[in-house]
Amino acid sequence: MAQRPLRLALFGSGRIGQVHARNLAADPSVELVMIADPFIDAAQSLAAATGSRAVQDPEEVFADSSLDGVIIGSPTNTHVDLMTRAANQGLAVLCEKPIDLDLQTVLNCREQIKNSTSPIMLGFNRRFDPGFAAVNARVNSGEIGELEQLTIISRDPAPAPRGYLETSGGIFRDMTIHDLDMARFFVPDIVEVTAVGANQFSDDIRELGDYDSVVLTLRGRGGELISITNSRHCSYGYDQRLEAFGAQGMLEARNLTPTAVRKHTATGTELQDPIFNFFLERYADAYRLELQAFTAAIRAEAAPKPDFADGLAALVLADAAVESASTGKTVKIDQIW
């Protein structure tokens, strides 16, 4: 017997909301019922393109008893309220990262939803990237022996607009948090963080008291060493790479290009297309696979992962990085807790 489509609502019609809306509209196993956004013109435009209904007031979402779940792609300062209301109303939740910029607020949220049995997923979509996921699975299968070193490189093509940066929470909570979750994907128990930040090219970011370039070293409880390199600019595109090194070998996931074509001439060999220049193109497959994981969790076919605890742990690591970069000291994770 065919399953009925899951009925979902989306909060937010901005850049990430558009990604989710189009993936929902393309998935026959779900029905995008409504898109909620106080900026109603944007919501109406996206709703018209995806066959759904636009609403301005979130109360209209929570008044619909036929919904199975919600996707929260609205600004960070709305996440906790929307997640709490949805979870306590029995709705499944997929929430973009971070849960909140303030650790105590996240801990309070955990307390408020502790009795809910609704599946809650965090939008760390990079876990679903086929290359990264394959490396993780092969490490877990023992293909390269015990993991000793993990190297994560993530560089944006250019800084976000100043207006976004002003409310982003800083590079560690906004950008590095994705890589911190990726580190935990491989090494769940991280015990210390050392971070160094620099201002190398952006006066705007310097004026905001933030860094445009950072390097982190993390240590796992089993002695694993993890390095993360971030930059807010990259002249050759959206640089996203990962390397896992173990006692019996190494696995790596390289940058992706639009095609696999390589050109060989007298002036160069292995010439290829430029790498993707934006996260929406680079992680298009990851967002689709993330949605599939969410719907599987709603149907109780799989556990929701990454979950609320993963979102909390990533924020703890980001806070540790902020402290380490400002003090010049290694921060023990137990101290943050």
Residue 225 pLDDT exceeds 90: yes
Please give the Cα distance from 258 to 274 (Å, whole number): 8
Residues with Cβ within 8 Å of 336's Cβ and at least 6 positions away in sequence, in order, are 103, 316, 319, 320, 323
Question: pLDDT tens across 234-246, in order?
Answer: 999 999 999 999 9
Whether the Cβ atoms of residue 276 and residue 258 lie closer than 8 Å to each other: yes
In eight-state DSSP terms, residue 307 is B
What pLDDT is attached to residue 165?
95
Question: pLDDT tens across 21-65, in order?
Answer: 999 999 999 999 999 999 999 999 999 999 999 999 999 999 999
- CA 80 from centroid of its chain's CA atoms: 16
* Phi, psi of 302, deg, nearest 5: -160, 155
DSSP secondary structure letters along 211-253: -SEEEEEEEETTS-EEEEEEES--TTS-EEEEEEEETTEEEEE
* Phi, psi of 65, deg, nearest 5: -75, -5
Domains of the chain with CATH codes: 6-118 (3.40.50.720), 127-282+313-336 (3.30.360.10)
Residue 1 pLDDT exceeds 90: no
Residue 2 pLDDT exceeds 80: no
Distances in Å between the Cα of 278 and the Cα atoms of 157, 200, 275, 334 are 7, 22, 9, 36
Mean pLDDT in residue range 257-275: 94
Please give the Cα distance from 153 to 130 (Å, whole number): 17
Residues forming beta bridges with residue 195, ordered by sequence position: 216
What pLDDT is attached to residue 336?
73
Mean pLDDT in residue range 195-207: 97
